[in-house]
Amino acid sequence: MNATTRTAIVTGASGGIGRAVAGRLVRDGFAVVLNYAGNAASADKAVAELRAAGGQALALKANVADVGEVGQLFKATVEKFGGVDVVVHCAGILPMRTIVEDQDLSLFDQVITINLRGSYAVMAESARRMTRGGRIIAFSSSEVAKSFPRYGAYSASKAAVESLVHTLANELRGREITVNAVAPGPVATDLFLNGKSQAQIDELTKLAPLERLARPEDIVGTVSFLAGPDGAWVNSQVLRPNGGFVY
């Protein structure tokens, strides 16, 4: 390790936006730990590609909703790279149907456990482990401002994440650690597209004035900005790279 190399943990990094974020941060010069929950093959493939391109990368498994496993993720990162400078929490789930009237509390609990409890656990451990001047970046969603039917549990979980961002930013006063959220609109990932008909996809494509779905590469620049030197004065904010989907 070069003494000037900074280290980032990216949760949910075996695919989708998390994978793209990990690649961008490696290109930005970070040593990156790619966290994954179950898809070891995909995470290992991503690490191999990043290393082949000259980057420093490591895949580590952890369930973000398990406080013990999150602690081990950070402990292993510190042991390997010497510290944690940036944490990007991308891990989450997007269920197709959570109609409030259906009162499907089992699905609601699953969404809240992964999306909200997971965010709480990762953000808490970040605050405990992070070096001075670090960056904590959570992922929310521009859907919070749209309130689509059938997204009740998801919207509730992401709105709570945004509230956590503001609270933690205030709790870290004086430590020069920023806490922000990135809240994309619809992004063409497997997580978003799974279970949707072509008609639904076409309808969602037209919602933003730019009239297309985002690609993961459209989102990573915002993360790079927040993690880099130009983002040092941005704190307790929710940035919405969404092509005008909502404002």
Q: For residue 113, what are its two tokens?
A: 């456990």
Torsion angle of the four alpha carbons 143, 38, 72, 122, in this order, in degrees rounded to the nearest 10: 0
First-to-last C-alpha distance (Å) of the chain: 42
CA nearest to 137, candidates 50, 52, 11? 11
247 is catalytic: no
Q: 92: helix, coil or strand?
A: coil
**Segment 47-52 long-range contacts (CB within 8 Å, at least 24 positions apart):** 49/23, 50/22, 50/23, 50/26
Q: What residues contact 199, with CB distance under 8 A and at least 6 apart? A: none
The active-site residue out of 36, 151, 154, 247 is: 154
Q: Which residues of 132-169 are buried (b: 16+ CB within 10 A; e: fewer)?
A: eebbbbbbbbbbbbeeeeebbbbbbbbbbbbebbbebb
* Three-state secondary structure call for residue 86: strand
Q: Which residues are catalytic?
A: 154
